[in-house]
Amino acid sequence: MDELTPAQVEELRQDLLALKATLTAALEGPLEHREAEEHRLALTRQALAAIEAGEYGTCKRCEELIGYERLKARPEAAYCANCAGGHHR
């Protein structure tokens, strides 16, 4: 797995900011999905903080690189596909 380039990190940071705006707007809508949205918003905030700290793109469990492709699909992902495997399929 290749490390993210600065350009990829910047691109994913923009994706995260867009996601954060979408989720923030969604939280003002109907109640039904609010819990999931709040959880995802928390992950999004953590991912943005990780970018600031220079720790973005590393699995929180096994410390392997998460990889650009997975982050492009889920920029807020905190775990690699292996570690998240049981939960997000």
Half-sphere exposure of 57 (CA within 13 A, CB side): 21
What is the crossing angle of helices 34-53 and 6-26, to 10°? 150
Q: Is 71 in the site for Zn ion (CB under 5 A)?
A: no
Rounded to an integer, what distance in angstroms lies between the CA atom of residue 12 and that of residue 42?
16
Q: Is 61 in the site for Zn ion (CB under 5 A)?
A: yes
CB 80 within 8 Å of CB 64 = yes
Q: How many residues at the interface with Zn ion, by CB under 5 A?
A: 5
- Of 14 and 82, the one with the shorter C-beta distance to Zn ion is 82
Q: Is 1 in the site for Zn ion (CB under 5 A)?
A: no
Token digits of residue 6: 């600065």
Interface with Zn ion (CB under 5 A), residue from 26, 50, 65, 83: 83
Interface with Zn ion (CB under 5 A), residue from 1, 42, 62, 73: 62
Q: Is 78 in the site for Zn ion (CB under 5 A)?
A: no
Q: Is 39 in the site for Zn ion (CB under 5 A)?
A: no
